[in-house]
Amino acid sequence: MVTQRIVHIREAMEKDLSTVLSIEYKCFKDPYPLSLLNRLLIMHPDGFLVAEVDGKVVGYVIGVIKWRATGHILAIGVDPMYRRQYIGSALMEQMINRLKEKGAKLVRLETRKSNIDAQRFYLKLGFKMVGEIPYYYEDGETAIAMERSVEN
């Protein structure tokens, strides 16, 4: 028998940041430092969401509006033990809806060229690859820029 977990998505709070930082370290070669996560939470409290399962934060997404009509996903991460359970998809759809409500016509993000799983995930969500950004990451790796229109 398969049990379905209930995922609750809400705005992040300061008390969540240590767990978000832990997820960052599990997910990324170059995790955001706690000071940056804290600054993003202060500057964009409605653009920093977490996903909870059984009261435990298991994922997050950070999105902002740039240039009035472009949403930008700065980061998304799901604890590896909770992947492939639609938590990332739920976080992304919630964030895309928020960005759209704020006037976004387009949502943009970047992912490592070597991260094929992430690219497939974003393609399933309707994003398209629009280019490469050489030396985007601290270690010199190229980023793949991806975009999704959110206009009606």
Say which CATH number the domain at 109 has. 3.40.630.30
**Per-residue tokens: 128:** 């398209």
Dig out the tokens for 42 from the structure: 């202060």
Coarse DSSP helix, strand, coil percentages of the chain, rounded to the nearest 5 percent: 35, 35, 30
> Does residue 122 fall inside a structural domain?
yes
pLDDT of residue 152: 60
The token pair that represents 117 in the structure block: 């799983």
Which distant-in-sequence residues (6+ apart) come within 8 Å of 93 by Cβ?
A: 125
Q: What is the phi-psi region of residue 67: left when phi exceeds 0, alpha when psi lies from -120 to 50, beta otherwise?
A: left
Quick count: other Cβ atoms within 10 Å of Cβ 2? Answer: 3
What distance, in Å, lies between the first and last C-alpha atoms of the chain? 40
pLDDT of the chain, 152 residues: tens digit per residue: 445 578 899 999 999 999 999 999 998 888 899 999 999 999 999 999 999 998 899 999 999 998 878 999 999 999 999 888 889 999 999 999 999 999 999 999 999 999 999 999 999 999 999 999 999 988 889 999 999 998 76
What local confidence, expressed as pLDDT, does residue 2 receive? 45
Q: Are 118 and 93 in contact (CB under 8 A)?
A: no
Tell me the residue range of the domain where 108 lies.
7-149
pTM of this structure: 0.90
Task: State how far the Cα of 104 lies from the Cα of 87, in Å rounded to an integer.
Answer: 23
Distance CA 26, CA 7 (A): 20
Closest CA to 66 of 27, 35, 124, 110: 110
Does residue 88 sit within a domain? yes
Flag whether 1 is in a domain.
no
Q: Please state the domain count of the chain.
A: 1
Domain assignment present for 2: no
